[in-house]
Homo-oligomer: A and B are copies of this chain.
């Protein structure tokens, strides 16, 4: 039987080869991939041990369960976020990390006290709505106007002032579902730019179909770039069913909508990053950075975004902390504050720690799906280290990715400053079903996938920290 199978496979290969020759294509001579840097036998034993321990432990589950149960949602700059920092310090102490501290900073606070929209005519119907982060209040009682619909942002960008003036702009663009979340990048400009462009054309408010992939009656919250551009137009996201309703009403005739927002806006609200370390045994000033963010939007529990990330990096670091011998380099764990409404924690961290020797950084901020790929952003000379990392992660079902890692939102300032980053890329096929909605709750986390995440982070962080590998190009 075995001989038969081998013969079949060889026949298939021969047939494929001859097909290429028939078409005149020369046989492929692919560029050899870089060799993997060597992992020592002791390191491999440690990796095996970390993976086995991670796959048997529900510590990450317990951490995110505790965060969403005892703190709940934690809007940037709020009293709840302050409680989350206290929780963070307590949690880091329980893990026996060292050098635990809060790095305080302030940010412009925004919170919706009221967020309502309804169809006024042809007949009243209320809609499910979320004010977009940073939206100003409407006048008391709301703004009411006829709706003008655009299938996408470019429709609005190319619209005449006559069509838009005095109206409520509705961008009906849909987001598509992808494993890697690339649909988000394509869909989010309407959230960021709708109010800016609508205001420049004389609109009275902006309304978008929620940036999300679910079919449920939830509006998806999210930030917008208005404030930076001096825009003052009220802006909301509506649920998919309400976007469908508007589309059907507009196909019948003129449709008027009322939007009513009351926003609590304050300057200089307190926030902070919570920071701790596992000090390196040989090279304590060389830092392997693990980041997740502590704040969340307030309609959901912030379980997937980003309680899961907090839990994953914490449980992974704790496994490393418990090794008989700590890694050579320092592992620094950062719970970033105030990510959702403008990366304020990331910016504050990068400013204060610009002089630190960050060897490499990773952020967990894409829910709790299984990690399926390791992408890097290393100097070419460091690609053998990427291969070694990918090889170490292979037993967890992680496949090699390219060298174009983004690193996660809170790593943008460091990446721009040249710090090498990686993406332990999670399967995000359903992430945008829940993202920034009331439905981001604990029950959406799969405990088994969470364990696999911890195993991958522990493996990767240990390996990065227990070497003298460098990932950035040497200074010229």
Contact = CB atoms under 8 A, between A and B. Distances in A.
Contacts of A443: 215, 240-241, 244
Interface of A: 65, 68-73, 80, 83, 119, 122-125, 128, 215-218, 240-241, 244-245, 248-249, 252, 300-301, 437-439, 441-444
Nearest to A119: B72
A241 B69 contact: no
Contacts of A216: 216, 439
30 contacts: A65-B248, A68-B245, A69-B245, A69-B248, A70-B252, A72-B119, A72-B123, A72-B125, A72-B245, A73-B125, A80-B123, A80-B124, A83-B123, A125-B301, A128-B438, A216-B216, A216-B439, A217-B218, A217-B437, A217-B439, A240-B443, A241-B301, A241-B439, A241-B441, A241-B442, A244-B441, A244-B442, A244-B443, A245-B301, A245-B442
Nearest to A70: B123
Number of copies: 2
A234 to B, nearest CB: 22
Listed from nearest, the 9 A-B pairs whose CB atoms lie closest are A241-B441, A72-B125, A217-B438, A217-B439, A69-B248, A216-B439, A216-B216, A215-B443, A241-B443
Contacts of A245: 68-69, 72, 301, 441-442
A55 to B, nearest CB: 24
Contacts of A252: 69-70
B69 A249 contact: yes
B123 A71 contact: yes
Nearest to A65: B248
A216 B71 CA distance: 21
Nearest to A299: B217
A439 B216 CA distance: 6
A301 to B, nearest CB: 7
A95 B303 CA distance: 51
